[in-house]
Amino acid sequence: MIAPTGAVTEVSALSGGGSAEIIPIDWTADDVGKVDARTLWSALGSKKDFSSWFKVKTADFTENDDFGVFDKIVNNSVAVSDTENGDSDVPEGFPPIGGKLGGRPTKDYWFTVDAAKEVCMMEQTETGRRIRKYFIAAEKAYRKQLAQPALPTNYREAVVHLLAQIDRNIELEAKVDAQQDAIGRKNALMRRAANEITTKYAPKVKAFNLIMKKDSTEGALDIETFVNAHRLNKYIGPIQLFDHLREWGWVRKNHGARNRPTDYAQEAGYLIEINRPYQRGEIKVNHYTSAITERGGARILEKLCKTGIIQTINKGAVL
């Protein structure tokens, strides 16, 4: 078989049930393995003549993709066609492969390695399975050989090999640096976006956390202090706020416990009860009233905005 441009690989990979056989694989410049069709036919031990066998096997194949024709030199002592009985080795529809005797270039046929593996499976014999394994092993060995760079054989080749490796290392380092720069820019953009989101939604997050926190009394303010702290004076005063709290069921309405927090407001974590004692002459009088927790303050401001009592939340407000 005449190799177009590549090397011939011969791997003695057949074993078991007979002597080892070697089927040359011709690798082209584009790494396509080709196998002599007649050699494969002989190795498979088909009982059909080559012409009939080849015609059946190539019925579903594409010429020049799965099989094709190549030049072959036939030994002078080898007849390439049987003229005595009229039989011919040339498959119908294919070019003739010679005259009565060899001794000059003639035509024969090849399979690609992939097509040859399919042909082996078509045989459905133990020999076919062994040869198919051979092709798989040979192709694997060839691919492995391609992946391994050839070692230099002299000083000049060693220098060229070293310079090529340096160039590859420089190219690889440049790619790594570019990737790291891209990752750095991406991380910077992500941090900037995270900061913008945090700044934008931090007040809402804080208000939500306050609303969800029921048991905290830290920072509780009496009604008047709460109104002043959030600059609500122009919208509502302490007395009006108490009226709303009573309307919402947050403080009691009965005279004896007026302005003291209801059980609901305390359980919800909106209000706590505080004692603001005062002197009446020589008598110290306890005065129980309500103080607004941070959670309660956030809820009050939310309700006042929704009801339209206040139009906007000042910068000093919780929300």
Summarize pLDDT for 214-258 with one digit per residue, the tens: 445 557 888 888 988 888 888 888 999 999 999 999 999 887 788
d(C-alpha 66, C-alpha 9), whole Å: 19
Q: Where are the domains of the chain?
A: 8-147, 151-212, 221-306
pTM comes to: 0.38
First to last CA, the chain: 87
CA distances for 181 relative to 64, 167, 172, angstroms: 48, 21, 14
pLDDT at residue 114 greater than cutoff 90: yes
Q: How confident is the model at residue 50 (pLDDT cuts 50, 70, 90)?
A: very high
Give percent of the chain above pLDDT 90: 28
Average pLDDT, the chain: 78
User: Which pLDDT value is given to residue 76?
Assistant: 53
User: Which pLDDT value is given to residue 1?
Assistant: 46
User: Which pLDDT value is given to residue 276?
Assistant: 85
The larger pLDDT score, comparing residue 96 to residue 170, is at 170
Residue 106 gets the label, from left (phi > 0), alpha (psi -120 to 50) or beta, of: beta
**Model confidence over 249-259: pLDDT tens digits?**
999 988 778 88
d(C-alpha 154, C-alpha 299), whole Å: 85
pLDDT at residue 43 greater than cutoff 70: yes
Mean pLDDT of 104-112: 82
pLDDT at residue 85 greater than cutoff 50: no
Residue 37 identity? A
User: Which pLDDT value is given to residue 78?
Assistant: 44
How many Å separate Cα 93 from the centre of its chain?
A: 50
Q: Which of 145-159, 176-190, 204-218 has the lowest mean pLDDT?
A: 204-218
Q: Three-state SS string across the chain, please?
A: CCCCCCCEECCCCCCCCCCCCCCCEEECCCCCEEEEHHHHHHHHCCCCCHHHHHHHHCCCCCECCCEEEEEEECCCCCCCCCCCCCCCCCCCCCCCCCCCCCCCEEEEEEEEHHHHHHHHHHHCCHHHHHHHHHHHHHHHHHHHHHHCCCCCCCHHHHHHHHHHHHHHHHHHHHHHHHHHHHHHHHHHHHHHHHHHHHHHHHHHHHHHHHHHCCCCCCCCEEHHHHHHHCCCCCCCCHHHHHHHHHHHCCECCCHHHCCCECHHHHHCCCEEEEECCEEECCEEECCEEEEECHHHHHHHHHHHHHCCCCCCCCCCCCC
User: Which pLDDT value is given to residue 258?
Assistant: 82
pLDDT at residue 183 greater than cutoff 80: yes
Mean pLDDT of 187-197: 88
Q: How confident is the model at residue 126 (pLDDT cuts 50, 70, 90)?
A: very high
Q: Which of 32-41, 44-53, 75-84, 162-171 has the lowest mean pLDDT?
A: 75-84
